[in-house]
Amino acid sequence: MRILLVEDDELLGDGLRTGLIQYGYAVDWLKDGISADQALKTENFDLVVLDLGVPKMSGITVLQNLRSRGQTMPVLILTARESIEDRVKGLDSGADDYLTKPFDLDELCARLRALQRRFSSRAEPHITHGNIILDPAAHTVTLNGELINVSRREFALLHKLLENAGRVLSREHLTQSLYGWGEDVDSNALEVHIHNLRKKFGQDFIHTIRGIGYMIDKSKDEK
Amino acid sequence: MIRSIRRFLLISLFISITIASSITAIGNYLLDRSVIQPYLDEKLFRFYNIIDALNQSVTVNKNIETEVEKNLNTVEPTTPQHLLFQVWDPKQKLLFHSINNFFVPLKDVPIGFSDQIIQGNDWRIYADYDKKSHDKIIVAELYDIRYRFADEIARNNAYILLVTYPIFGILIWIIVGLALRSITRVTNEISNRASTYLEPVNPENIPLEIKPLVSELNQLFVRLKLAFDRNKRFAADAAHELRTPLAALKTQAQVAIKADNPNDRDGALQKVIQGVDRSSHVVAQLLTLSRLTQEDTLNDVGPVDLHKLATEIVAYLVPIALEKNIEVELSSPLEEVLVLGNETALGILIRNIVDNAIRYTPEQGAVKIELLVTNDNVTLRVTDTGTGIPVELRERVFERFYRILGTSASGSGLGLAIVSHIAELHHAHISLSTPQSGKGLQFDVIFPRLRH
C-alpha cells in the first residue's frame, strides 16, 4: 500500500514515515500543500495521511481538490487543533477519519487498516481468497491454514492484488505501490516478487496480462 | 482604625444615648430641686400668710390667744414634722409656735427666704414682720421634703427614660442596619459570583459614599479579566504549540520500539532527544513571554551597557554558529554604549534576535551584530545572509507562534514576539529591512540614548 504523507514538521514527518514503513507501507513524504496537490493529481496512492496545518496550500484545500477530481482513496487527517469546528470541517470536506496530535502510531495504523477495509468493501478484517487468508494487521498469510513465509514486499504485493481481485493492475501501479520515490527500484524487482509468490501459492494464482500488468481472479466464493 | 462600621456606630450611638439619658436624669435630679424651689417657696409663703392671719386674729382677740395656746399645748402635734412656725413679739418674747419634737429659737433669722441648718437638717425659712403688731413671724419647711418631691419627679423621669432607652436602642439598631444594608447587598452580590465571573458590579442603587469603592472595584475586575483572558489565551497557545512536538516525540519513540535493528532504534531515539530539546525550548520561550507580558512596566531599571551585554550573549551563541560554519562579527563605535533598561530583559532580546539570525541563515553564511550611536539614539543592528523576510510578512513575524512557512528551522515561533514586547517595555522601536547587500535580513532595534 502506498501512502502519501503530508506533514510539514520535520521530526513528526520523519517519525511517521519510518513508522509507516515499519508497518509495511510504502511512504512518500511531502511537506507542503502545493506539492501534495500536485502529487495527488499525477500519482497513485492508496491512502493519504494529511496534516491540515501544512503551509502554502491548506490541507482542507488539498482535500477538497482531491475529492472534486473524483479521487476516492481514503484520507485520514491529522490536526493539532482541538476545536470541533475544525474536525467537522475536515470531515465534511471529504476526510474519512481524523486524529488529533499527539496520537498513538499503532492507533493510526489500525485506523488506516479500517479505512482500507471499508474502501474495499470488506466486512471482515481478513482477506479471504479460496484457501488463502491474508491478515493485514498481523502481516500474515496462510494457505490451507498453514502460515506461509513472505517478505515485506511480497506481502504488500499480494495484499494489493487480492484487494483488487478481478482487476488488472499495471506494472507501474504495482511498482509505485511498493516503493516510495526515494527508494531504488530494480526494474526487475516486481517480476522477482511475482515469481516468488507463484512459487508459494501456485503458478496459476497470478495471471500475467501481457503488456498491461497482473491480476488475481476474483475468488470463487465471490463469483 | 475602625474595625467595624456597624459596631462603631452601634456602640457610639448607644453610649451617646446612655450619656444623654444619664445627663437628662441627673440633670433633672439636680435642676428639679431648684426649679421646684419657687413653687414650694410660694407654698411656704401661703403657710406664712396663714400663720400671719392666725397671729392677727390672736392679737385682736386676747381670748383666742389663750385658746390657741391651750390648744397648741394640749393637742397632739398635727402639723407635719416638716413644717414649723414661730411667732415672736417685738420684745423678743415667744408668742406661740408649732409643736414639733424639738424647739430651736429662730428669732434672729433674716427677713425673707433663707436656708438654715436646724438640728443637723436643712430647713427653708421665711420670716417677716407683721404689719400692724410688728411681731416677727417665722415659718420653715424641711428641705428633705422638698427634695423628696423633686426626687420623685426626677425618678419618674428616669423611669420614662428606662422605657425610651430600649426603644431608642432598637431604633438605632434598625436604622444602622438599613444604612449598612447597601454594603451588605454589594457584598452579597460579589460573594455570590462564580470564582471566574469578572463582570463589573452594577453601580445603580449604591449610596454615594460607597460608589467610589465600587467603581474602583469594577476597574480592578476589568484588569483582572484582561489578565485572566491573557492567561487563558496563553494556556491555549501553549497547549496548541506543544501538540506537534509531542506528537513527533511519541511517533519517534514508537518507531524506536518497533525498530528491528539497533541503528534504526538509535536513530529514532536521537530524534526523540532532539524533540525533547525542541519542546523544552518552546516551553522556556512560552514562560519568558508569559512572564514578560504580565508586566506593563519594567522593574529593576538602570543603565545597561549594550556593548558589554552583546559581547557576552554573542560569545555564548558563537559555538552554534560555528557548527553551521556561519561567521559572526560584533562591532561598536564606543567602549561603553548605555541605554536605560533591565539587563536581563535586554539580554533576552539580544539573544533572541541573534539566535534567530543564526537559525535562519544557511551554512557558510554570516551574521553581523553592530551598535550604532547617534546623539539621540542607540541602534542594535543584526544583519544576516539568510533567506530574509518578505516585505508583506514583516508585520506578521512578530505574532506569537508565527513561523515563516517553508523553513525547516526548529524555532518556537515566539522569539520575535518576545523581542517585540521587550522593545516596547524599553520604549525602543523595531525596523526590518533588506541589507545593502540585497540578501538576508537587517534587524534594527532603536533605543533612546542614555547619557550621564
Q: Does A24 touch chain B (CB under 8 A)?
A: no
Residue A52, pLDDT above cutoff 70: yes
Q: State the Cα–Cα distance between residues B203 and B185, nearest whole angstrom.
A: 12
**With 0-12 CB in 10 A as exposed, 13-18 as middle and 19+ as buried, what is A147?**
exposed
* pLDDT of res. B234: 74
Residue A109, pLDDT above cutoff 90: yes
How much of chain B exceeds pLDDT 70, in percent?
91
The mean-pLDDT minimum among A21-30, A146-155, B29-38 falls in: B29-38
Residues A9, B244: C-beta atoms closer than 8 Å: yes
Residues A19, B248: C-beta atoms closer than 8 Å: no
Q: State the Cα–Cα distance between residues B128 and B136, nearest whole angstrom.
A: 6
Residues B248, A32: C-beta atoms closer than 8 Å: no
* Integer CA distances (angstroms), B432 to B339, B411, B441, in order: 21, 19, 7
Residue B390, pLDDT above cutoff 60: yes
Model confidence over B60-93: pLDDT tens digits? 665 555 566 556 555 455 556 788 888 888 888 8
Residues A105, B250: C-beta atoms closer than 8 Å: yes
Quick one: average pLDDT of B23-36? 80
- For residue B96, the 8-state DSSP code is E
Model confidence over B146-198: pLDDT tens digits? 777 778 888 888 888 888 888 988 998 898 888 888 778 878 877 887 777 77
**Amino acid in position B347:** G
Higher pLDDT, B393 or A169: A169
Rg for chain A (alpha carbons), in Å? 18
Higher pLDDT, B29 or B220: B220
Nearest CA in chain A to B277: A11
Select the residue from B232, B240, B242, B244 to test the A interface by mutation, using most A Cβ atoms within 10 A. B244
Residues A80, B240: C-beta atoms closer than 8 Å: yes
* pLDDT of res. A223: 43
Model confidence over B251-294: pLDDT tens digits? 999 999 988 899 989 988 998 998 888 888 878 877 887 777 77
Residue A124, pLDDT above cutoff 80: no
Q: State the Cα–Cα distance between residues B94 and A28, nearest whole angstrom.
A: 151
* pLDDT of res. B246: 87
Residues in chain A: 223
Residue A24, pLDDT above cutoff 50: yes
* Integer CA distances (angstroms), B302 to B54, B346, B420, B451, B452, in order: 111, 11, 20, 12, 12
Q: Does B270 touch chain A (CB under 8 A)?
A: no
Q: Does B423 touch chain A (CB under 8 A)?
A: no
Do A21 and A27 contact (CB within 8 A), yes or no? yes
What ipTM goes with this model? 0.71
* pLDDT of res. A63: 93
How much of chain A exceeds pLDDT 70, in percent?
96
Cross-chain CB nearest to A15 (options B248, B408, B410): B248
Q: DSSP of B331-362, one letter per residue? A: E-SSS--EEEE-HHHHHHHHHHHHHHHHHTS-
Q: At which residue does the C-alpha cell 438599613 appear?
A: B178
pLDDT interval class at B367 (50, 70, 90): very high
* Integer CA distances (angstroms), A219 to A125, A132, A133, B15, B38, in order: 16, 10, 12, 107, 140
Task: Work out the minimum CA distance from B433 to partner chain A, whole angstroms.
Answer: 24
Do B365 and B328 contact (CB within 8 A), yes or no? no
Do B48 and B139 contact (CB within 8 A), yes or no? yes
Helix axes B5-60, B62-74, angle to 10 degrees: 130
Task: Work out the minimum CA distance from A32 to partner chain B, whole angstroms.
Answer: 8
Task: Work out the minimum CA distance from A34 to partner chain B, whole angstroms.
Answer: 11
Q: Does B246 touch chain A (CB under 8 A)?
A: yes
Quick one: average pLDDT of B21-34? 80
Task: Work out the minimum CA distance from A143 to partner chain B, whole angstroms.
Answer: 27
